Chain A
Amino acid sequence: MTAAVTRRDRADRLRLLAQPIAVVVLVGGVLAWAFSTDLDSIEAQSINASTLLSVTWDHLLISFAVTGLVLVVAVPLGVLLTRRWARRAAPVFLGIATIGQASPAIGVLVLFFLASGMEGMWAAVLPIAFYTLLPVLRNTVVGLQGVDPALVDAGRGIGMSSAAVLRRVELPLAVPMILAGLRTALVHAVGVATLAVFVNGGGLGLLIDTGYKLARVPVLVTGAVLAVGLALLVDWLGAVAETYLGPKGLR
Chain B
Amino acid sequence: MSFWEFVADRWDRLLAESLLHLSAVVQCTLLAALIGVAIGLVVYRSPLGSAAATALTSAILTIPSFALLGLLIPVLGLGAPPTVVALVLYGLLPIVRNTIVGLGGVDAAVRDAARGVGMSRLGVLTRVELRLAWPAILTGMRVAAQMLMGIAAIAAYARGPGLGVEIFAGLTRAGSANATNQAIAGTLGVVVLALALDGVFALIGRYTIARGIRGQ
- B interface size (C-beta, 8 A): 49
CB of A93 closer than 8 Å to a CB of B: no
Q: How far is the CA of A111 from the CA of B3 in the complex (A)?
A: 14
Among A1-25, those with CB < 8 Å from B are 3-4, 6-8, 10-15, 18-19, 22
CB of B164 closer than 8 Å to a CB of A: yes
Asked if A107 and B153 make an inter-chain contact with CB atoms under 8 angstroms apart, the answer reads yes
Asked if A107 and B190 make an inter-chain contact with CB atoms under 8 angstroms apart, the answer reads yes
Asked if A110 and B73 make an inter-chain contact with CB atoms under 8 angstroms apart, the answer reads no
Among B62-117, those with CB < 8 Å from A are 62-68, 70-71, 73-74, 100-101, 104-105
Categorize the interface residue count of chain A.
35 or more
CB of B122 closer than 8 Å to a CB of A: no
CB of B167 closer than 8 Å to a CB of A: yes
CB of A64 closer than 8 Å to a CB of B: no
Asked if B183 and A114 make an inter-chain contact with CB atoms under 8 angstroms apart, the answer reads yes
Asked if B62 and A232 make an inter-chain contact with CB atoms under 8 angstroms apart, the answer reads yes
Contact pick for A212, options B64, B70, B101, B152, CB 8 Å: B70
Asked if A7 and B47 make an inter-chain contact with CB atoms under 8 angstroms apart, the answer reads yes
Q: How far is the CA of A190 from the CA of B149 in the complex (A)?
A: 19
Q: How far is the CB of B176 from chain A (nearest CB, A)?
A: 11
CB of A211 closer than 8 Å to a CB of B: yes
Across the interface, which residues of B come within 8 angstroms of A103, CB to CB? 150, 187, 190-191
CB of A102 closer than 8 Å to a CB of B: yes
Asked if A212 and B187 make an inter-chain contact with CB atoms under 8 angstroms apart, the answer reads no
Asked if A221 and B187 make an inter-chain contact with CB atoms under 8 angstroms apart, the answer reads no
Across the interface, which residues of B come within 8 angstroms of A198, CB to CB? 171
Across the interface, which residues of A come within 8 angstroms of B48, CB to CB? 10
A-B contact pairs, 20 of them (CB 8 A): A7-B47, A7-B50, A14-B55, A15-B55, A102-B194, A106-B153, A106-B154, A111-B180, A111-B187, A190-B64, A191-B66, A192-B64, A195-B154, A198-B171, A220-B73, A221-B70, A223-B70, A225-B67, A227-B64, A228-B68
